Amino acid sequence: MLGLEYFSFADLWSPLFMVFMLLIIAGYLLVVGPFSEKFAEGEPPISSAKKTMFITGILLLYLAQGGPVSLLGHMMFTFHMLTMALSYLLAPPLIILGMPTWLWRALLRVNPFRRLSFLANPIVAAVLFNGLFSFYHIPAIHDYVMLHFNVHRLYYIVLFVSAMLMWWTLLNPLPEKRKGSSLGKMGYIFLNMILLTPACGLIIFAVEPMYATYSDPDIWAKAMGYCISGDTSALLESFGGPTFFNLMSPLVDQQVGAILMKFIQEITFICMLAYIFYHWYKSENREEDDDVTQRNL
């Protein structure tokens, strides 16, 4: 399907990265399970829902960066944008919400980057993530990053950290560090939705393919070296180029990818708006009920 049958298990599933992510899940389950009494004295047991959110977030991140979605993202721009959405819009909030407050406090106590805490400022975090995302999708920058594997790894790590900072502003699980009103958080969501729009809009309304990675066979073969081992020039002999795997023309693929990214962002943030509004509504009603109770007393 989609040409995946032509690639080996190692190409599709990145075994070393799989083991790394499974170790993270195993370590998490040990810390919040058998070892929780040692690290979280007096804290209530972590719920199954939180465990499910964390594990789901890690699995989404693995699929996007090491699983078949990652490989497809080097052959179709649509899947590249799906990788972006899974890695930076869906995985971070699940990971943040899936970790108990006592574990976050423990991690922040040993945080070696305290001097960079200004990056968690809401405006700075929003501009940083959306700026890095938009900068990455400048054609010359994108193709350079895709061809230089160490730069590729570093840029994706920085993008993930900036996405975590952006989501932390909305979902801060530490009651003592929560700042801003529900109305302010809603405004912050709209800000993020607006900041990502120009990059997606430029890609959607482009009149020709922008990325050599998905249209130039030689550039594509070199970029595939990130996903597969061995001589990637053999890909040209076997398949001719990325169009062999693509169900659409490079231009249509590019447009569909940008639309998909924007659509997932809109749905994600609309759900977040509903979540914040719901909790704001509950809080307002609770305060009104408390006022009525006090007056009756």
- Average pLDDT of the residues in 239-262: 93
Interatomic CA distance for residues 284 and 48, integer angstroms: 29
Whose CA is closest to 78, among 257, 262, 263?
257
Whose CA is closest to 185, among 48, 56, 109, 93?
93
Segment 54-94, tens digit of pLDDT: 999 999 999 999 999 999 999 999 999 999 999 999 999 99
Out of 96-105, 131-140, 179-188, 259-268, pick the least confident: 179-188
Interatomic CA distance for residues 65 and 73, integer angstroms: 9
Segment 251-279, tens digit of pLDDT: 999 999 999 999 999 999 999 888 888 87
Tokens of 95: 């990971």
The domain spans of the chain are 4-296
- Average pLDDT of the residues in 228-247: 87
* Reported pTM: 0.91
| Amino acid in the structure at residue 200 | C
Q: Which of 34 and 266 is assigned the larger pLDDT?
A: 266
